[in-house]
Amino acid sequence: MSLNSIGRDIPDSHVGSRLLYQGPWARTPEGLRHAPPLGSIRPGDSKIIPSLREAIAASGLRDGMTVSFHHHLRNGDHVLNMVMEVIAGMGIRDLTVAPSSLFPVHGPLVDHIRKGVVRGLQTNYALGPVAEAVSRGELPTPMILRTHGGRVRAIEAGELAIDVAFIAAPAADPYGNINGVYGPSACGSLGYAAADAQHARFVVAVTDNLMPYPLRPVSIPQTRVDAVVVVDKLGEPKDIVSGSTRITRDPVGLLIARSAAEVIDGAGLIKEGMSFQTGAGGTSLAVAAFVRRYMEERKITASFGMGGTTGYFVQMLRDGLLRSLLDTQCFDLEAVESLRDDPRHVEVDCGYYANPWNKGAVVNLLDTVVLGATEIDTDFNVNVVSSSDGIIMGGSGGHADTAAGARLALIVTTTRRTRLPIIRDRVTTVTTPGETVDVVVTETGVAVNPRRADLADRLRERGLPVVSIEDMKKQIQDLTGKPSPAAVTDRVVALVEYRDGSLLDVVYQVKQD
């Protein structure tokens, strides 16, 4: 076993040539960017290929290669399942599948794992049957879990070398220009697909909406796309984006949100030119609503809001509270329409958003990010990967990226979920290191990371109920009791990479009855 700098044991057999996590900025990048081979399309050549099977054949996909997908169609995505079914039918095996996220809809992948079509998974988030199968040890190699920024870094560094990228394209023209704002499967931004298109050896656009050349706007340009395949349907629109996202009405959530807004103000970050990012959950949106009140009272305009974008942020843009919205993915229809119609609503790719190894990501310019948590420990480490019984049910996404970049990384959560305490001595899996987390806001008070003693004093002066995280833990565990650690075996089923590629933690196979 080797210990990394936050005290997590990493079995030596999984360390190999990898580095252990030593701090959020411990690694210095070296070397050149990975690049796809040169290629050319000649006058008169067509990129339209009649079927997925023929496109896969044209891509040169063979046993042991890596295929990638983006997750903008979320739980409405049919493309990954469609492509993998064809690949399985062609007898190709031992593939690594690298989607930016996996949702419950991707359950058929479990069968491909069992039949040997899929041997490895690399993703930023996994929820549903695939994640559960991995937790049970069904995947022959450990799944690699990255952050959104870390995935782009790994692609650019050549650690995640994609052979064939299949890009679900809500709108495409015959020459391979793609955007996400038109068509029955419109999902808005295609920010997570950009790095795949830039670096994969072969890029296939899969569309159910072929539009005349030249398609505008261009999210992914023709210069990066080898083939265009037209299918009947990319996915289920109602599961791609929700009709609208709503602020929580739960009084506990509202109480937490209000405290969080006071913490942000107490930190001096509600000011002209501010920037912030919140999640799309009801409590996160409620934080935005309370922040909005302060902004209106003081006639403040933010320089930008960063999304995952919802209608709530769109309304703030329309009302002049945000000068711009930077957007890697749209969560609802209002956001899709705004991205299409409002030039101040800007599509950005995931590397621009969060890659730690480029010449400047948006997360570095965030004043505040509001994040959730499945578990938090008394070192402020956060778990959003696994449930307390050890089953994988999520992933970092942008969690660790934004926490590392923002001036104030705020976790909002209740202190318990059903009968389980959220705050504990040791999280089941570390997703975001505590040294990048500033404040935890719960219904029982505000815990400030001792690294931010200055902030604790300011919040106390403001009259906020500042408590130590140990007291917060004790208060909830007096009620719930101390949770037992997850029942797991000693077999590693997933490696958790920090955004710089170092090993933050591992996930073990769960014991089964």
Partner 1 sequence: MRGLRRSFLFTPGNNPAMLLAGPIFGADALILDLEDAVAPGQKDAARILVAEALGKIPYGGVETVVRINPLSTPYGEDDLRAMLKAGPDTILLPKAEPRALAQASAMIQEAGAKTGILGLLETALGVETAFECGGIPVVTGLFFGAEDFTADIGARRSAEGLEILYARQRVVVAAAACAIDSIDTPFTGIDLGEDFFADLEVTKKLGFTGKACISPRHVEGINRALSPSAEEINYARRVLEADAEATRRGLGAVSLDGRMVDAPIVARARATLRRSGLDPGPASEPAPGPAWGQTPERASGPTPDREGERP
Q: How far apart are CA 121 and CA 73, in angstroms?
A: 19
Out of 254, 295, 330, 370, the only residue in the binding site for partner 1 (CB under 8 A) is: 254
Kindly indicate which of the ranges 32-40, 246-254, 272-280, 381-389 contains the residues binding partner 1, using the contact rule CB under 8 A: 246-254
Among 35, 57, 252, 487, binds partner 1 (CB under 8 A): 252
List b or e across 134-172, with b for residues whose CB sees 16 or more CB atoms inside 10 angstroms.
bbbeebebbbbbbbbbbbbbbbbbebbbbbbbbbbbbbb
- The nearer residue to partner 1, 26 or 479, going by C-beta atoms, is 479
Q: Which of residues 436-455 bind partner 1 (CB under 8 A)?
A: 443-444
Report, in Å, the least distance between residue 35 CB and partner 1: 54
Q: Per CB under 8 A, does 39 bind partner 1?
A: no
CB 423 within 8 A of CB 235: no
Tokens 């987390």 map to which residue?
437
Q: Is 246 in the site for partner 1 (CB under 8 A)?
A: no
Q: Is the dihedral of CA 21, 352, 163, 129 positive or negative?
A: positive
Degrees (nearest 5) of the Cα angle 494, 387, 309?
A: 90
Cβ-based nearer residue to partner 1, 9 or 471: 471
> Is 7 within 8 Å of 430 (Cβ atoms)?
no
Stretch that binds partner 1, among 46-54, 248-256, 431-439, 483-491 (CB under 8 A): 248-256
Does 471 interact with partner 1 (rule: CB under 8 A)? Answer: no
Q: Residue 1, class by beta-carbon neighbours within 10 Å (0-12 exposed, 13-18 middle, 19+ buried)? A: exposed
Q: Is 38 left (phi over 0), alpha (psi -120 to 50) or beta?
A: beta
Minimum CB–partner distance for residue 416 and partner 1 (Å): 8
Q: Judged by CB, which is closer to partner 1: 416, or 499?
A: 416
CB 292 to partner 1: min, Å: 16
Q: Among residues 407 and 417, whose Cβ is nearest to partner 1?
A: 417
Alpha helices in 137-250 (DSSP H): 148-157, 194-199, 237-240
Distance CA 373, CA 422 (A): 8
Q: Which is nearer to partner 1, 169 or 472 (CB)?
A: 472
Side-chain-side CA neighbours of 176 within 13 Å: the count stands at: 22
| Minimum gap (Å) between residue 415 Cβ and partner 1 | 10
180 or 445, CB closer to partner 1?
Answer: 445
Q: Which is nearer to partner 1, 364 or 444 (CB)?
A: 444
Q: Is 404 helix (H, G, I), strand (E, B) or coil?
A: helix
Q: What's the closest the beta carbon of residue 439 comes to partner 1, in angstroms?
A: 18
Among 3, 57, 453, 479, binds partner 1 (CB under 8 A): 479
Task: Return the number of other C-beta atoms located less than 10 Å from residue 52's C-beta.
Answer: 22
For position 282 contacting partner 1 by CB under 8 A, the verdict is: no
Provide, rounded to whole angstroms, the least separation between the CB of residue 251 and partner 1: 4
Answer for which of 478, 485, 487, 511 binds partner 1 (CB under 8 A) is 478
CB of 247 to partner 1, least distance (A): 13
3-state secondary structure of 382: strand
255 binds partner 1 (CB under 8 A): yes
Please give the residues from 104 up to 143 whose contact with partner 1 meets the rule CB under 8 A: none
By DSSP bridging, strand 423-424 and strand 420-421 are unpaired
Indicate the length of the chain as a whole number: 513
Residues binding partner 1 (CB under 8 A): 251-252, 254-255, 416, 443-444, 475, 478-479
